[in-house]
Each structure stands twice: as structure tokens, then as C-alpha cells.
Structure 1
């Protein structure tokens, strides 16, 4: 019974340790998942912030260019001679890179005294689209003419993409309806930004429609999509010119590469951490096992393998004081007959072999819950657990004597005393068992006797 309780306590400790190990491993997984999610969140936020920074720079470039050109045109308009009027309105001069002058009749807000920016269709300008910046030439408080400057879409695109991050993406200008004002080399054959985006893979089905709705209302926002398996991001905001939107498209390869590396490192960390935890636990288990083994060895007699005198006293006194039905009810004191003669005749080595054999016989003839003690020399004590009355102790005593007799070399005498239900005095019980032993020896040895 005591062995079972020790086993239960040991199992409880093992289960507790196993629970702690599992908790630690789960904790490592949870912390790594949390860490990865936080890093992913930070990377996404940083990527979006970088994208917005690039777009803001493109926006500022565009606005700066417009302001500078308007100032230049305003200076020019203040001091230049006005062009002659044609029959259909104001004649506007436009120069291209080849210094060729083109004329056309052009309706402009500049005629109303306001600076204006308008689209220049490709059919009106050597096959290229562009924009026209117009400034009124004011004389005597009235707009008498218009001074203008033309930028082709190609030139404007070069200017717009001259930002720090532009090597990693493209800047575009399109209207709220999606019509491209300024395209980029990758998509120069497209006339509408939505035609470009419809070729992309939007894994969130609402992203495309959400973007169209946001652009239509003139608000800024993000769109995420995949192109040929690679992730891309797009940020758009009002350009501050008519209904134009300035947008920045970048590939998210660096972001995905960083996430891949972090995910790989996280897996390595989880595997290595789990391995180290398991190794540590195995080491602790080995240490506990060895200490338990050493503790048991310290409790046992090195020669016979049964309990030593000190350990047995602690175990038995604890059970005697515990009371109740589950306690020791009989005590046997055993002495090997003529053991001194064996030592003197055959030597101490033979005597040690006899003691070892005696320990084996006593263990075989009793139960696990019984406590067998080498009391000293050739004396042994057996505490029988959970037995009442004389019948069962007598049967065990006969079994022991028969086993000794069957060995052919060992005989013993046994003294037996019963333990009262309320008796707790360890030494008093042993004295009665010792007295019973002397009675057995007086009967001619190889006998057992009772002392009540």
C-alpha cells in the first residue's frame, strides 16, 4: 500500500512536470505567433507609411512644379506682347522640344482671369497627350490673352517619378473616372487605371470596388493586390488639380521577403526552444530518477535489499500514528539459526550470501505493502500490513519457514506479536516480538511463536 502511495505521488509529480513542459512549449508557440503577428503588423504599417511618403513626395513634386511654372508664366504674361486675336478666339502658342510652334483655338479659364490646368488630347499635340498650364495676360484689369506652357505626359511622368522611392514603384495620375492623365512605362498602353487593376488578383473581393468608390468620392486610400504572384500596393489621394488623383504603385517584395525570413527564424526558434526545453526536462527527469534511486538505496540495506533500521522506524511509526483500518496489525522478529556457526565454518563471504538469500526469501513470501527490515546482523523484522488475527500471520510464518527449509542451508526462528488497534508505541511492539522470538528458539529453533 505504501509503495502504491509512493507511486501515486511520483505519478502526480511526473504529470505536473509534464503539464509544465507542455505549458512552456505552448507558451513558446504563443509568444512566437504573437511576435510574428506584431512584426507583420509593424511591417505592414511601415510599408504603408513608406508608400504614403512616396505618394506625398510625388504630390508635392507635382504641386511644386505647378506653382513654379505658374509663377514663371505670370511673370511672362505681365511683360510679354499679347498675341493677335483670331476669328474664333484667343490664339495660344505652344512649343515642343523641337521648337516647333503649334496653334489651336483653346477655351480656358484663363480667359476668365484664372490660372488653369487642362488636358491636352493626343490628337491635338503630335500624337502625345499632355497638360496645358494657362495664365491670363491681364491688361487694364481684363484678360486680354493667355500665356500657356505644355508638358507632355512623358515629361510629366519623368518629373513625377523623380522621388527617392520611385525605383521601387511608379507614380500615376488619373481622373476620378479612372482615365490616365500620366501613365508609367509598365502600363503605357493602358488608357484607364481600372483596366490595369482588372488584370490584377484582388484576394479581398471588396478591395477593387472599395477603391473605385473612394476614388469616385475624391478620398485617399490603399489597395492591395497580386500581379503574377507578387504582391503590390497602391496608394491614391486627390492631386489638387481638377478631379485628378495621384497614385503610387509599389511591389511588396521586400515586405514579403522580410516576413519570410521572420517566419523562417520563428520556426527555427520554436524548434530549437522546444528541443532545449525537452532536453532540459529529460535532464531534470534523469536527475530526479537518479536522486530517487539514490534515496531508495539509502533507505535499503546494501546487502539484502530490504529496508534499513532507521528508514523502517520512520515508515512504521507514521502508519501507527495514522490510525484507522489501514495500518500494521502484526510484527515478526526473525533470527537465522546458527548464523555465527556459518560464519565461523565457511567464512564471512558465505555468511553474506546467506543474508542475501534470506532477504530474497522474505521478499518473496510477503507482500509489497509489508515492510521488511534488516534489524542488525542476522536479525530481520517484518511488519505485516492490513492483517488482523493470528491466522494470517501464522500462514505467512509457515510460508517463510518452508522456504528457508527448501533452500537446504538456512533455518530460522520467528517471533510474532499482534499490534493493538490503538497501539502506537514502536519500541514496545518490537520488545514483544523479540520475546516471542526467544520463545520460538526455546521450542527448538526453526519454529515460530506468539507473544500477545
Structure 2
């Protein structure tokens, strides 16, 4: 009896030790998991912030470059300012007189003319002197004492017979430039600011007008380490990029800054780190729960995962890919588009394209070469489009693509042009593209019919081009 009791006690002790050991293992595992996930979430948050900032940087460079190109075109047809008020550019100047945006034409004497024949002296401005040396220029941040606003000026020289006769200038207020950068594409991802190394703000947003510099605004925030802001300033003076963390109204905020690639400007994105904090808090609760219920939950999750995997695997038996090109097949493309039309409407445009004179490739070089061309074109489409866009082989030498997100017709045209150039360069064949913008209430058949009609129009017009209907 005593021996049996001793054995039971020993068995109980062994079981207890096993339970303690198992719980210790789970506690250690989940603490390690928590630390690892904390690091991973923080890294992903930083990466998302940098990606947003890179997008804003590309938008800024594109905006200024497009404006400069437009000004150069305008300068080619503008009359040289002669003070008569009869020059051919007055109507254009008046059209661009709005809050935050002004167009002006300057003469060689340093007078710039705005709408209603308003004249201003700019002979002593650095950007004007550059223009008179036949150099396109983007000014530093300028202060308008009369209106109490700050602005930047994009200018190009007005040249006739090889000599500079004046300049055409487009003036953006810092608030207007900031409004354009913080547009729909970046909405909800964080506020974008552009500033010089000295902290003068070139692209601003509401609330920043009460601060003289970017550093003055950041100096009002709270930091875990008081050396963070001076370290950021020193980093910027060296031309480096980096992150800054601070607290405002009790919320953690993150800022990523990098050179804008224009003058001595820097561009930064500020975001409230709510997602990071919420995820971290949720992770803490989950870790505690898993530590207390580890063994039971692991077993349940294991059983559930096995059953779910088998169910999921049986539902996924149908092949969704085209066997030759690796792109989505027509049936799956139709399923994706029909689902999107009925719900979120994330896809904005549909491309319908085929390879020009593809029959000639098969007839001349054989079907193996034709298959190589199809595979190459499919690969090129996937590389030329973005990750969220959809590429499908519709049939034969025809492909369909869904363009995600952007409603900007120019952006869609840029994508189409990039696809045309890329396919020709990499595969030595030409393609024609029919494009339709997807509308509310469209059915799958209507989208495909319009895109197909646009493709037919592209063929009629001579191939190797895109048409939007």
C-alpha cells in the first residue's frame, strides 16, 4: 500500500513536472514569439512609411518636371514682354490666377507681370538671375510680405534668337503644393511635408503656418530621448535619411525623411503609429492568453488546421493558371472581375491586348517560337504592371489585364506606354492594346466588349499602340 502510494506520488510528481515543463516551454516560446513579432511589426511599419514617402517623392519630382515641361512649351509661343499689355499670354496668365497658384511672365528688366497687369520687381531674386543665365530654376521658399504667405517658383527662360528675353514662371504657395502632394493617392497614409535643410517648409499643410521651420514644429513634440531631434538635424545636414519617433497628444508618431532629389530639399511623411500600437497591444493580450491556455489551444489549433487544410485543399483542386504562360486563365480572370464589379470596385481599367501579326511568327518560325513569344509577353506584362494588377491569358495570343486603384487617366496611359515599350524591347514583337475605364453598373460582358472594341480600333489605326474607349 505504502509502495503504491509512493508510486502514485511519484507519478503525480512526474505529471506535475511535465505540466510545469510544458508550461515553461510555452511561456518561453510565446515570449520569444512576442519579441520577434514586435520587431517584425515595427520593421514592417517603417517599411510602409518609407514606401509612402518614396511615392510622395516620385509625385513631387513628377509634378515639378511636368510643370517645367509645360512652361517650356508655353515659353516657345509667348510674346516677349514689351509693356504694351497686348501680349498674347495675358488670357493664360489670368486663367492661372487662383488661391495658391499664379502664372507670371517676366521681362529682361526684372519685372514680372501677373493677372490684371499687376507687376512685381524680381531683379534681385536668385532664381531670376539663374533664368537670365538661360537656366531653368526652382526657387527657395519665398515670403510674400503683403499676403503673409510663403511660396516657391518654377521658372524657365524665354529665349528668342539664342538670347534670353525674359522668363515664364509658375508660383505655388507652400500650402497648395502640400495639398497636391497630400492628395487622394496618399490619403490616410500620413501627412507629407517638404522642407529645406534649414527647415524652411516648401510643401505644407494646415496648421504648419504658425511655425517658422520644420524643426520648430518638431521641437514642440515629446521624445523618449531628448537627443533624437538634434540627431535628425545633424543627419539631414549630412544628406542622410532616417526615422524620428515622438509623441503628440498621447499618440506615438513616426516620421521618415529623405533627400527629395531637388535642390537641398527634404521630403518626409508623418504618420500616427496607431496600427503598430494596436497590433502590439493585441499581441500582448494574445500572448498572455496563449501562455495560460497553451497546451489545449495548440492541440485544438492543430486538429482544426488539419481539417481546414484538407477542406481548403479539396476546394482548390481546380487549376487557376494558364499552363503555358503561368498567368491566370480566362475563367479565373472572369471570376475576379465579376466579384470586383459586385463589391469594392478596386479595379479601375481593363486592358485587352494581343500580339500584332502573331500568325506570321508561327508560320515563319514555328509553334515552339510562338510559345516562347507568348511566355515572354506574359512575363513582360507581369514585370511591367504592379503587384496588385491582374494579368490573364484570355486565349490564343490575347491577354487581359486589370489595373488596380488609380483613376488618373494619365497614369493609365503611362502604364500602357510602359507595357508597349517593354514588350517590344524584350520580345521583339509589337502588341496592340484596347483600354476601357470600368464604370459603376458595368457587367463583365460590357467591360470586355468595350475593351475589345478599343483593341479593334488600335488595330485599324496601325497597330503597336493603345486606344482608350
Report TM bin, short chain: 0.5 to 0.7
1:82-121 mapped onto 2 (5 Å cutoff): 82-84=80-82, 89-95=109-115, 101-106=118-123, 107=125, 108=127, 109-119=130-140, 121=142
Match of 2:29 in 1: 31
2:146 is aligned with 1:129 = no
Give the drift of 1:269. 1.9
Match of 1:59 in 2: 57
Q: Report Cα offsets for 1:69-116 as digits up to 9, x if no partner.
A: 101110111121122499993322345xxx673422243211111111
Query: Which of 176, 190, 204 is the aligned partner of 1:183?
Result: 204
Query: Which of 138, 142, 145 is the aligned partner of 2:159?
Result: 138
Match of 1:209 in 2: 230
Give the drift of 1:20. 2.3
Give the drift of 1:19. 2.9
Query: Which of 66, 69, 80 is the aligned partner of 1:68?
Result: 66
Query: Which of 27, 45, 68 is the aligned partner of 2:43?
Result: 45
Match of 1:81 in 2: 79
**What is the CA–CA distance in structure 1 between the aligned matches of 2:169 and 2:192, rounded to whole Å?**
25
**What is the CA–CA distance in structure 2 between the aligned matches of 1:135 and 1:124, rounded to whole Å?**
24
> Which of 1 and 2 has greater Rg?
1
Specify the SS of the correspondent of 2:207. helix
1:341-356 mapped onto 2 (5 Å cutoff): none
**What is the CA–CA distance in structure 1 between the aligned matches of 2:223 and 2:147, rounded to whole Å?**
37
Q: Is the 8 A contact 1:111 1:136 kept in 2?
A: yes
Q: Report Cα offsets for 1:223-259 as digits up to 9, x if no partner.
A: 1111121000001111122111111110011221121
TM-score normalized by the length of structure 2 = 0.53
Q: Is the 8 A contact 2:107 2:165 kept in 1?
A: no
Q: Is the 8 A contact 1:223 1:233 kept in 2?
A: yes
Q: Is the 8 A contact 2:156 2:169 kept in 1?
A: yes
Give the drift of 1:119. 3.1
1:243-262 mapped onto 2 (5 Å cutoff): 243-262=264-283
In the alignment, structure 2 segments of 5+ residues that lack a partner are 84-105, 299-469
**What is the CA–CA distance in structure 2 between the aligned matches of 1:258 and 1:181, rounded to whole Å?**
34
**What is the CA–CA distance in structure 2 between the aligned matches of 1:119 and 1:93, rounded to whole Å?**
20
Q: Report Cα offsets for 1:6-32 as digits up to 9, x if no partner.
A: 776665544443332222111111221
Aligned-CA RMSD value: 2.7
Specify the SS of the correspondent of 2:73. helix
**What is the CA–CA distance in structure 1 between the aligned matches of 2:297 and 2:152, rounded to whole Å?**
67
- The 1:161/1:11 distance shift into structure 2, 3 A limit, reads same
Q: Report Cα offsets for 1:318-341 as digits up to 9, x if no partner.
A: xxxxxxxxxxxxxxxxxxxxxxxx
**What is the CA–CA distance in structure 1 between the aligned matches of 2:10 and 2:73, rounded to whole Å?**
92
Give the drift of 1:275. 8.0
Q: How many residues align?
A: 272
Query: Which of 276, 280, 285 is the aligned partner of 1:264?
Result: 285
